[in-house]
Each structure stands twice: as structure tokens, then as C-alpha cells.
A and B are shown apart, each in its own frame.
Chain A
Amino acid sequence: MTSIPFIFTLSLLIGLIFYWIGARIAPKGTKTPGKLAPYACGEDFPPVRLQVNMERFFLYTIFFMVFDILAVVLATSLARPGILPALYALIVFASVMLVLPLARW
């Protein structure tokens, strides 16, 4: 009973209880085309999947990868804190500082 999956399942069940209560006390209502259309501030937009240009943020994802690995290294350096993780952080910091001017924001 002290495991995360057990508690998580129980939380999901409680969420389902809220759904059940909602289904019991809420009015059913009628379905009209206007109600079921996606909200678009009154404009007539067909519901299509948007293709989003992520190019501007590609650099951020690269930096995110580098720093995420750094964060994991720091988090697992508990047993031997001190010079090595600090040195690793400094190296990452310096190399990122070198790369930064290359990027055109």
C-alpha cells in the first residue's frame, strides 16, 4: 500500500468519482452544430491540425538536452560532492558561453 502505482490508481479512481457525480447532476442538454464547433472567436475556422514551425526554438531544445544531462550528473553526485561535478558544470557553462554568440536569436 505504500507504492506509487497504487496511490496513482486510487487518485485516478477518485477523479472518476468526480466524473460520475458530474454525469449524475449535470443536465444533458441538446446538441446543436454551433455548440459542437470548435471555439474560434466567431470566425469560421475549420478544425484542422496546425503545423507549427519549431525552427526558432530548435537551439533551445539542443541546450535543454545538454543541461538536462548536466542536471542528472549533478543530481547523482551526492556520494562524492566537490571538485568533479563542479568542474563538469564549469566546462558545460564555458562551452555554452562559447556557443551562445553563434546563435542568432
Chain B
Amino acid sequence: MVSTELIIKIGQILVFPGFLFLIFYALFAEWVDRKFFARLQNRIGPLHTGWKGILQPLADLIKLLAKEDITPEAADSVVFATVPIILFAIPLTVMFMVPIIGPKAYISFEGDLIVILFLFTLTVLSVFMAGWGSLNRFGTVGGLRTSLQMLSYEIPMGVAAVGPAILAKSLSLSGIVAWQGRSMSLFLENPTEFSLALGIAKASVLALGFGIFTICMLAELEKVPFDIPEAETEIVGGWQVEYSGKKLALLRLGGDIKLVAASALMTSLFLGGPLGPWPIPPALWFLLKTILCVMIISNLRALFARYRIDQMINWMWKNLVPLSLLYILAIELMAVLM
């Protein structure tokens, strides 16, 4: 006897908003990223596979899967083979804790924000293991650079993510999204001058948090101003240098899902997640907002050039960490005023 509830649950895990949807959405996000990036550089970008090259990421994935897979003789073969699967599984797990089809995520409990930040740190450690396990000079240097980067952006990232949580008095993403909807409807019911001023103040402080979080996400995703660990022009791909075939395919797919997960986090922490005015359904709002975040990330990618590792760490510690502390002070002040 199989109940309908069970079937719905299995469908939610496997199809929508589960694995199938997430994988294809990640490929779509990669296409948006590549196309937008190319247009900003006055190039055409993906063109031939499908409508305006929309199938290009899928074609790349299949091509890489069908290529010969080489494990270097010196590499630690267990670590070398495990890391791509872990780097693929972690962002997928994160996506299940993000509200997509409604204000409540599939997995939601008090404190899942901490778990998400922990999982993001775990990806950094796996990247280090990948570089170390491939026993290649470029790989080792890339892995080390990743962990050094992590030392500098982890603090502002955590502090920026905690800001909305303090205002919402909840450490779960679903709680934060629900708080954003609630405070909007509270304001619409009773618009006074004081609540308008408070709302504008909150919005401007959280806009600062959004900026800090976006910069940290660029570092987390190893996108251009902070793509120091995989700098192709100096350390030829860094920690990825020895990977080929199906392992590289999985690494790239994992990177795409991580891009979606990062923009989903930006969306749910600062932009109200799947909530929005009525005629557009919540899932579509979520897609629109995450695509907007992906475009912000590719815009910044086109705008900047790569920093050196010590420049980046110095800049982060001297500017971004004090800024994030000022931000959290302002948040605490708001929390007292409310």
C-alpha cells in the first residue's frame, strides 16, 4: 500500500524541486552566466547547440563524460576519485534547505543557516584535499590558496548572513524568508511615518549586507576577482589541473550547482526568496531572483581582474571585516529599536 503522500514526497526529492530540476537549472544558470559574460565582453557566447546555445552546458557535460579519464600514477587515487562526488553532493544538499516552491524549504529546522555555512566551509576543505591528493605542484599551490582565501572571506560571509537572522530572530532560512514576508505585510497594513523610516533604514543596512555577502560569494565560488586558486594563466587551473573525463564533468556540474546555491542563498537571505506579488507563482519568483543574482555575479566577473593572494587577504581583513562589524552593530541597533 503506497500512499499518495509518499509518492509526492519522492517526486519532490527526485524531480521538482529536487535533483532533476536542480541539475538542469544549474546547467541553465551556467548558460545564462556564459552568455551574459560573453555579451558584456562583446562576444557572442554559446550559439550552435539549441536555441541560442542553451544546450551548450549539457553538451559539454556529455562530452566530458565520454572522454578518457586519467588518474596520475602519483596521485592518491581514493582522495582523487572521492572529492568530485563530494563537491557535487554538498551544494545539492544545500539546495534542499533553501525555500524554492513556497516559504518553507524541504528540510527546515532552527539553525539550518549554520549548517549551510558549515557545508560551504566543507567544500573549501574538499577543494584543498583535491589539490593535495593530486600530488601536483600546481594542484598543491591551488589547494593552499583556497584555504588561505577561506581564512579571509569566511568571517564577513558568516557575519553578513547572520544579520537578517538577528532581525528575524530565527536561524533558519525558512524563518528568515517568512519574516521578510511578514514585515512587508505588516507595513502594508499599517503604513505610518515611523514604520516607513524604520523600513528604509533596515533596507539600507541590509543592502550593505547584501554587498558584503555578494563579495564573499564571489570568493566562495572562485569567480574572477578571487579566482586565485584556479588562476589559469599562472597555475594552469590550480587544484583542478590533474582532473579529466568524468571527474572533471562532475566537478564542473558541482560548480554550477554551487553557483545556483550561492545565488539562492543571496535570494533567500536578502531578496525575500520565493515571495513576491501575486500573479507570478513563488517558484517563478525564485527563478527570476536567482537568475538576477547569477547576472550580478557574471557582471562583477566581467568588471574586475584577478587579485594577487596577499592583496586579496589584506583587502579583506583591512576593509571588509571592519565593514561587516559596523554592519552587525547597525543590525543590533535596529533589533533594539524594533
Binding site for B on A (CB under 8 A): 1-4, 7-8, 10-12, 14-16, 18-19, 21-23, 25-29, 35-41, 45, 47, 49-50, 52, 56-57, 60-61, 63-64, 67-68, 70-71, 74-75, 77-79, 81-83, 85-86, 89-90, 92-93, 105
A26 touches B246 (CB 8 A): yes
**When chains A and B are docked, how far (Å) is the Cα of A5 from the Cα of B329?**
36
Bound-state CA distance A67–B85 (Å) is 31
In-complex Cβ contact of B162 among A71, A82, A90 (8 A)? A71
CB within 8 Å for A26 and B93 given contacts A15-B250, A81-B335: no
Secondary structure at the B interface, as helix, strand, loop or mixed, is helix
Which chain B residues in 309-338 approach chain A with CB under 8 Å?
Answer: 310, 313-314, 317, 321-322, 325, 328-329, 331-333, 335-336
Q: Which of B147-171 contact A (CB under 8 A)?
A: 148, 151-152, 154-155, 158-159, 162, 165-166, 169-171
Whether B313 and A60, one on each chain, are in contact in the complex, defined by CB atoms closer than 8 angstroms, is yes
Q: Which residue on B lies nearest to A36, using beta carbons?
A: B73
Q: How far is the CA of A49 from the CA of B73 in the complex (A)?
A: 14
Instruction: List residues of chain A with CB within 8 A of the CB of B44.
Output: none
Q: Which residues of B sit under 8 angstroms from A93, Cβ to Cβ?
A: 322, 325
Cα distance A10–B138 in the bound complex, in angstroms:
33
What are 29 A-B pairs with beta-carbon distances under 8 A? Answer: A1-B13, A3-B107, A7-B13, A7-B96, A10-B19, A11-B19, A11-B90, A15-B250, A19-B85, A23-B69, A26-B246, A35-B70, A37-B72, A38-B242, A39-B241, A47-B73, A47-B74, A47-B135, A47-B136, A52-B140, A64-B155, A67-B155, A68-B154, A71-B159, A71-B162, A82-B336, A83-B332, A86-B333, A93-B325
Q: Which of B97, B165, B249 contacts A18 (CB 8 A)?
A: B249
Asked whether, in the complex, the Cβ of A8 is within 8 Å of the Cβ of B93, the reply is: yes
Q: How far is the CA of A75 from the CA of B144 in the complex (A)?
A: 28
**A15-B85, A26-B65, A75-B162 given; A4·B107 CB < 8 A:** yes
Report Cα–Cα, A78/B33, bound state, in Å: 36
Contact of B151 with A75 in the complex, beta carbons under 8 Å? no
B89 touches A15 (CB 8 A): yes
Task: Please state if A21 and B65 are interface contacts (CB–CB under 8 Å).
Answer: yes
Q: Does chain A have a CB within 8 A of B193?
A: no
Closest to A14 in B: B19
B121 to chain A, nearest CB (A): 10
Asked whether B286 is an interface residue with its Cβ less than 8 Å from the other chain, the reply is: no
Residue B245 interfacial (CB < 8 Å): yes
Point out the residue from A19, A45, A78, A82 that lies within 8 Å of B170, measured CB to CB.
A78
**B177 proximal to A (CB < 8 A):** no
The residue that A81 contacts in the complex, of B72, B166, B317, with Cβ under 8 A, is B166
A7 contacts B332, C-beta separation under 8 Å: no
**Residues of chain A lying within 8 A (CB to CB) of residue B68:** 26-29
Do residues A50 and B140 form an inter-chain contact, with CB atoms below 8 A?
A: yes
Whole-angstrom CA separation of A49 from B69 in the bound complex = 23
User: B253 on the interface (CB 8 Å rule)?
Assistant: yes
State whether the Cβ of B57 lies closer than 8 Å to any Cβ in chain A.
no
In the complex, the answer to whether A57 meets B67 with C-beta atoms within 8 Å is no
Most buried by A among B89, B140, B166, B333: B89
Given A8-B89, A14-B19, A50-B141, 16 new contacts (CB under 8 A): A1-B9, A10-B13, A19-B85, A22-B245, A29-B70, A37-B73, A47-B74, A50-B137, A52-B144, A74-B159, A75-B114, A81-B169, A81-B332, A82-B332, A89-B329, A93-B325
